[in-house]
Chain A
Amino acid sequence: MRSTASPPVLKRPASHYVGAASFFMLLFGLLAALYVATMQVDYVWRWNRIPQYFAYKQTIETRAEADGEVAALAPHGERRLLTLRSEEGEQTLDVPAEGLRVAVGDSVYAGDILAVEAHWRVGLLMQGLWLTIQVSVIATVLGVVIGLFAGIARVSKNPLFRWSALTYVEFIRGSPLLVQIFIWYFVLGTLFNSILAKQGFQQIPPLWYGVAAMATFAGAYVAEIVRAGIQSIHRGQNEAARSLGMSYPQAMIHVILPQAIRRILPPLAGEFISLIKDSSLLGIIAIRELTKATREIVTVSLQAFEMWFICALLYLILTFSLSMCVKYLERKIVV
């Protein structure tokens, strides 16, 4: 008799379990070793101090500006409108109903606390993370646009386009991103901003030079990915489209690119993941992205060990969720 109810359960060899157990032992061993080592240098782990850099509660106190009396408390939605009568006249303050410290008729002195309220504020770390995301997204979008055109220019027959794209790609890929950021900020940035200042316009903040450096950097790599994607589409596809009377751009748009996109997507995802990581370099031109924010927190809190691990973890979350997104997209796009 044959069972057809369920597929056979895969029997794993014992070596699999030995290997798995060894993996976890190695992992915990390393963590333990790290912990022991930090004990040796008397490092005090204070994980409880970390959450405040994500978000913290800020207390806002409303104080009386002069001696006087609380004349009235009028309801104003969730809050109260407090009227303070003093020798200098009447003053109306918008205060929270819950944190109210006075009642109608109370006499107050200048500097007395009338009401207290607490607000959640976004911590430095979250601000840095948000800026990293913003910079990466803008640079990615611009990079794709630049890369798409440069990639198409790379396979063009016209030397103007082909050589321009080749020069661009080789220059960008052949020099360090750090140097490119310096060129954008200290050379081009100085030029632009000086000219703008002479013309009486506002200065462009460093953030935009940073974004430009990232976008042109990503664009060169995207261009190579696009070129490879286009060239991977069989020549017959182009011939079929052209034989029907389509022009080169028409064949590109309707036939070649839609097919190339699917092949382009996985390497493109890898490119964006490295773009997110590379954005950590922008700290050097005073852009307070995640790495720079972490460095500032370390300076203030002295909790270097926790902060750098947290920093790495946040990058990991960004890159991992991006690669998950792309995996999903890949499955969604029909050939």
Chain B
Amino acid sequence: MIEVTHLTKTFWLPHRVDALADVSLSIAAGEVVVVIGPSGSGKSTLLRCLNRLETADAGHVFIDGIDVLDPKTDINRVRAEVGMVFQSFNLFPHKTVLDNITLAQRVVRRRSRAEAQQKAEALLVKVGIREKAGAYPDQLSGGQQQRVAIARALAMDPKVMLFDEPTSALDPEMIGEVLEVMKTLAREGMTMVCVTHEMGFAREVADRVVFMDAGAIVETMDAGAIVETGTPEHFFVNPEHERTKLFLSQILK
């Protein structure tokens, strides 16, 4: 489904940062991949390169066989098939919840108002906030906003969903409701790439956990290796690299 080969991206301002240094990754349809790593390790950049919100300097990204980075590719078509959920929700503040979800359906998918609304209402039920359809984003809690954002992305019937730290901006008591929606989605067979440090989520639904540092993939761990033993150091049975162990012991404290 997603094929990343030798992806490289360097930011020059304010100083040189190799955000991605020769990253290769292959994700099959229906797979749930969790990307972890310290801040600045390039995990968000990797995610944003997948739908070309960032343009990579070198390498290739294929989604469903389409070369995403080829300038000749109609990127809007690719993006319609790749849903994205942001850390800061990025709901459209001037539109109601319902309009947030119907806008792209109507503009991009050319669905009728009635069809788009029907879809939106079904998705609001799915994410558990049907009663908020008429509200504006700033009237919702963070958790509710993020669930609307997920519904907005799902409304396009994407083949892949990208989550860029979806729970990092949330108050602790709201993280659960968002993860619950994501877990449901994973169980339904959605192909998902999630940048998150929610290891509970990873243990429950991830097929693989990718650890990145300094723009490179240090280690890919099978979900089967994730076990709960009570002590953070042994959360994963066998992280091979010291860097991974150190990072995990820090986030699992």
A residues whose Cβ falls under 8 Å from a Cβ of B = 234, 236-237, 239-247, 250, 254-255, 258-259, 334-335
The interface on chain B, measured as residues whose beta carbon lies within 8 A of the other chain's beta carbons, has a size of 27
Q: Is B108 touching A240 in the complex (CB atoms < 8 A)? A: no
Q: Is B94 touching A334 in the complex (CB atoms < 8 A)? A: yes
Interface locus among B82-90, B177-185, B234-242: B82-90
User: In the assembled complex, which residues on chain A have CB atoms less than 8 Å from the CB atom of B81?
Assistant: 245
Give the secondary structure class of A's interface: helix
User: In the assembled complex, which residues on chain B have CB atoms less than 8 Å from the CB atom of A236?
Assistant: 86, 88, 90
Q: Is A246 touching B88 in the complex (CB atoms < 8 A)? A: no
Q: Is B93 touching A335 in the complex (CB atoms < 8 A)? A: yes
- Seed contacts A241-B92, A335-B136; 10 additional CB < 8 Å A-B pairs: A239-B90, A240-B84, A240-B149, A243-B82, A244-B79, A244-B103, A244-B153, A245-B76, A254-B107, A335-B138
Known A-B contacts A236-B86, A239-B53, A254-B103; A246 and B92 likewise in contact (beta carbons under 8 Å): no
Give A254 to B94 CA distance when docked, in angstroms: 10
When each residue 144-168 of chain B gets 1 if its CB lies under 8 Å from chain A and 0 otherwise, what string results?
0000010011001000000000000
Chain A to chain B contacts (Cβ below 8 Å), 23 pairs: A234-B90, A236-B86, A236-B90, A237-B90, A239-B53, A240-B84, A240-B90, A241-B104, A243-B53, A244-B103, A245-B79, A245-B81, A245-B104, A245-B156, A246-B76, A246-B107, A247-B76, A250-B107, A250-B108, A258-B94, A259-B94, A335-B93, A335-B136
Q: Is A243 touching B84 in the complex (CB atoms < 8 A)? A: yes
In the complex, which of the residues B107, B149, B152 has the most CB atoms of chain A within 10 Å of its own CB atom? Answer: B107
Chain B stretch 63-86: residues in CB contact (< 8 A) with chain A: 76-77, 79-84, 86
B residues whose Cβ falls under 8 Å from a Cβ of A = 51, 53, 76-77, 79-84, 86, 88, 90-94, 103-104, 107-108, 136, 138, 149, 152-153, 156
Give A50 to B67 CA distance when docked, in angstroms: 77
Q: Is B79 touching A240 in the complex (CB atoms < 8 A)? A: no
Q: Is B92 touching A237 in the complex (CB atoms < 8 A)? A: yes
Q: Is B104 touching A246 in the complex (CB atoms < 8 A)? A: yes
9 tightest CB-CB pairs across the interface, nearest first?
A245-B80, A240-B90, A244-B104, A236-B90, A243-B84, A245-B108, A245-B79, A245-B76, A258-B94
Residue of A whose beta carbon sits closest to that of B82: A243
